[in-house]
Amino acid sequence: MIREAIAKGDTVEAAFANACRELGVDTTEAECDILEMPTKKTLGLFGGSPAKVRAFIEEPEPPAVHDPITEATEYLKNVLAAMGLPDVEVNVKEEETGAALTLSGDDLGFIIGHRGETLDALQYLSSLVANHVEGAYFRLTLDVGNYREKRKETLEALGRKMAFRAVKSGRNSSLEPMNPYERRIIHTAVQTVEGAKSWSEGEDMGRHVVIGPEGGERPQRRGDRRGPNPNRRGNNFDRDRRGPRPQRPAQNRTNPAPRAEGPKSDDPGAPIYGKIEVKK
């Protein structure tokens, strides 16, 4: 960008000094074009004209103003228009370190996608646009129909439920892969349950939360690990293989021994809940 000023003076030097004064710079900082040379008066009384010069300086163009909210909003509108939603309204709420964008309009359900995947993708792309220059990080969130708050409540309930289950069963449970924001919600919810802990495992898109008891997994009871034994007497497998047991002679059953009433609960080897299948 060039700034200039035109001035007159009795001499070229005086005219140049006057022009620089108008520009607010020193004569060493500007350049000069002579437009008219001074002429002397005839006989010192008639005619004559002052010198006329043009002083100018070249200044760098001011940097373009980068407004993250405006650029992200315009980008988002263009993408939505390409998706067949040219009339979507983008409501902006500025925050301390960024902004929250909320979309409103008709038939916006498909923008959310399966478990918010489409909405997360649009939020990620809009954040890249808002942060395409160097500087402080600008946090951008995108929401439709209060979906984010509803999803948060669902994840909090899931985290607490799985934490209570881990404490009761003594076993670890793995949840489905989630983005970092949703994993943080699960971790926070698990911290509210005494005796439970959570951590993340996996890489990239497969990173997920694991919830377990604080002391680590408890070993399973012997009865849970034992499973059916085909060689044990009285086992259903053994009975089916050998066929029905032959009847004893009648004389051996004349005086049967008295039988105890009710189940034999004091037998340490007897299963309490019947046959237990090993979960594979």
The DSSP call for residue 46 is: B
> Cβ(198)–Cβ(186) under 8 Å?
yes
Residues 85 and 33 in one domain: no
Query: Looking at the predicted structure, is the pLDDT value of residue 77 above 70?
Result: yes
Instruction: Quote the domain boundaries for residue 20.
Output: 2-58
What pTM was estimated for this model as a whole?
Answer: 0.53
Final residue before a domain boundary, out of 183, 213, 243: 213
Residues 50 and 72 in one domain: no
- Per DSSP, the residues of 208-259 read EEEEEETT-PPPPPHHHHH---TTSTT-HHHHHHH-SPPPPPGGGGSSPPPP
Query: How many domains does the chain fold into?
Result: 3
> How many Å is the Cα radius of gyration of the chain?
43
In a domain, 112, yes or no: yes
Distance CA 154, CA 174 (A): 17
Which amino acid, one-letter code, is at 43?
L
Give the pLDDT score at 254.
47
pLDDT digits (tens, 9 = 90+) for 183-234: 999 999 999 999 999 999 999 889 999 999 998 888 776 655 544 444 444 4
Tell me what the mean pLDDT of segment 263-278 comes to: 33
Residues 101 and 134 in one domain: yes
In a domain, 40, yes or no: yes
In a domain, 234, yes or no: no
Give the pLDDT band (50/70/90) at residue 235.
Answer: very low
CATH number at residue 118: 3.30.300.20
Final residue before a domain boundary, out of 145, 171, 196: 145
Residues 101 and 113 in one domain: yes
Distance CA 144, CA 100 (A): 11
pLDDT digits (tens, 9 = 90+) for 8-52: 988 989 999 999 999 888 888 888 998 988 888 766 666 678 889
Tell me what the mean pLDDT of segment 60-82 comes to: 85
In a domain, 177, yes or no: yes
In a domain, 243, yes or no: no
